[in-house]
Amino acid sequence: MSGHSKWANIKRKKEVTDAKKSKIFSKMSRLISVAAKNGADVDSNPTLRLAVERAKEARMPKENIDRAIDKGSGQGGSVSFFETIYEGFGPNGEAFYIKALTDNINRTVAEVRNIFSKHGGSLGGLGSTAYIFSPDPDNPSYTIEVDSSAAKSLEGILDELDDNDDVQDVFVNFQLPEE
């Protein structure tokens, strides 16, 4: 019987889960590297401690964590990451507040702008949505009701932003409708 190889099925499933893990580990590694610039000691650097805890929750191996700390403190190569914030609007004025860690700001802004324009949104200027998300980005000052017709394009923006390696966090002021 052709096409019934158990190993082939396992291999396909493993490739998918490994790709998801790799994406999460690379995001965590960048976060740890940036936090380690202020000191490589986990006990005296609360930002690094929080980043390491998040990496451990994601089940990142200790060797990868140590390598990221070394890279950030200047011991293991000198790739520098920049923390940047992008603000944008969805097709009906929904607000997006995006935190990113990147080694190339020009490439990242072009990618984020492309994601928004592909789904009918636009990238805003500095401060265009920040007032909605200050002081706590998790709790915007107001939220928007989204109808099912706009939900598809908003889901597309959220999915593509999540797939981007440079994007760390995305905050929004809307709730997608329950399916």
Q: How do residues 21-57 score in pLDDT, each as one tens digit?
A: 888 898 899 889 888 888 888 899 999 999 999 999 9
Degrees, nearest 5: CA angle 129-134-137: 85
134 occurs within a structural domain? yes
Q: Are residues 164 and 95 in the same domain?
A: yes
Give the residue among 92, 79, 87 at the shortest CA–CA distance from 161. 87
The reported pTM is 0.76
CATH, residue 10 = 1.10.10.200
1 occurs within a structural domain? no
Q: Are residues 42 and 93 in the same domain?
A: no
pLDDT tens string 111-122: 999 999 999 999
Write down the mean pLDDT value for the chain.
Answer: 88
Residues 160 and 112: beta-carbon distance below 8 Å: no
Average pLDDT on 126-154 reads: 86
Domain count for the chain, please give it: 2
Query: What is residue 3's predicted lDDT score, i.e. its pLDDT?
Result: 59
35-43 long-range Cβ contacts below 8 angstroms, 24+ apart: 35/72, 36/68, 36/69, 36/70, 36/71, 36/72, 36/73, 37/72, 37/73, 39/73, 40/69, 40/70, 40/72, 40/73, 40/75, 42/69
- Report the 10 Å Cβ neighbour count for 105: 12
Q: Are residues 67 and 87 in the same domain?
A: no
CATH, residue 111 = 3.30.70.980
Query: What is residue 5's predicted lDDT score, i.e. its pLDDT?
Result: 80
**How far is residue 108's CA from residue 66's CA, in Å, rounded to a whole number?**
26
pLDDT at 140 exceeding the cut of 70: yes
Classify residue 79 by its DSSP letter. -
**How far is residue 170's CA from residue 150's CA, in Å, rounded to a whole number?**
18
Query: What is residue 121's predicted lDDT score, i.e. its pLDDT?
Result: 93
Of the three residues 18, 39, 73, the one that is the final residue of a domain is: 73
**SS3 label, residue 6:** helix
Q: Are residues 88 and 168 in the same domain?
A: yes
Query: What is residue 2's predicted lDDT score, i.e. its pLDDT?
Result: 57
Find the domain containing 17 and state its range: 6-73
Q: Are residues 160 and 99 in the same domain?
A: yes
pLDDT tens string 72-99: 887 766 667 888 999 999 998 899 999 9
